[in-house]
Structure 1
Amino acid sequence: MATRTQARESIIGLLYAYDLGNTEISKFVDELLEEKKIRNNQKEFALNLFNGTIKNLSTIDEQIKAFITQGSLEDIGSVEKSILRLAIYEILFEDLPKAVIINEAIELSKRLASDGAPKFVNAILDQVKKA
């Protein structure tokens, strides 16, 4: 059985594809989750995260823009942006402990993103949490 971490990792991959312009990825979410063996409660959790993030993308991106100290949203790598978008969605719209969400995002950025990503992700999410 898949874990919430595996579900989040799959959603980051889907958000990454979406960010790169594959807006049709929404049609294949069920198949992709099944392929990664994300089923039952974890599938429901993952679908909620993906759909909620896409639905609230403009609100989420405004949060990111508000706390970027250098550059713009377009300057952020797609993986880092996908991690931030997912975590900010969870902070703003889900009833989960914010510390857990931020820790999970940092751990995922250590595994999936560039070397400086964990520090960057932590800084942005900390500001979002306090806002």
Structure 2
Amino acid sequence: MNKQQIRARQRARELAVQAVYQSIMANQPMVEVEAHFQPVINKDKMDVSYFVKLIKGVEANLQEIDTAYTPYLDRKPEELSPVEKSILRLASFELIFCPDIPFKVVLEEAVLLAKTFGAQDSFRYVNGVLNQLAGKVRVYEKAK
């Protein structure tokens, strides 16, 4: 992937985290959230197909995703901030359903999202949870 493609994917993740957040906060289905993001999608230099894959994938696999990362939390899931929950859901989807993306890339991108959108130390928490999940769902990759 070249730098432009990498940046387009990063931008897709940024908007996808915002879409997942909006879905949580407004209790809206992704189809409505996606419609809300349409003006931005049309003007933005992002990987639109990846954005759609992320938001639809999170919605379609929400129960499995939440079940996957929950054992690694140090608090009840309902005590997570909506931003942390959005990032954990998005990155967990990538870890579980996108094996073509190296787990280190998923973790690095999640940390960047947490630094951008989360509270001061959110990135440490998100990284810790996802690193443990990666140890379970990407065993073959972490063993290298």
The TM-score with structure 2 as length reference comes to 0.82
SS of match in other structure, 1:23? coil
Measured after TM superposition, the shift of residue 31 of structure 1 is 5.2
2: CA distance between counterparts of 1:51 and 1:23? 13
2:49 match: 44
1:17 matched residue in structure 2: 22
Aligned 8 A contact 1:106 1:121 in 2? yes
Q: Which runs of 5+ in 2 are unaligned?
A: 137-144
Rounded Cα–Cα distance in structure 2 between residues aligned with 1:44 and 1:3: 10
Q: Deviations over 1:21-77 (max 9, x none)?
A: 4324423415514424346x71111100110011111011112211112x2110000
Are 2:58 and 1:53 aligned?
yes
- What corresponds to 2:142 in structure 1? none
Count of residues in correspondence between the two structures? 129
Rg comparison, structure with higher value: 2
Partner of 1:75: 79
Match of 2:130 among 108, 121, 125: 125
Compared with structure 1, are the counterparts of its residues 129 and 26 closer, same or farther at alpha carbon in structure 2 (3 Å cutoff)?
same
| Cα-Cα RMSD | 1.9
Q: Percent identity?
A: 28
Shift of 1:14: 0.7
**Poorly superposed stretches of 4+, deviation over 3 Å:** none
Counterpart among 96, 99, 111 of residue 116 in structure 2:
111
User: CA offset at residue 116 of structure 1?
Assistant: 1.4
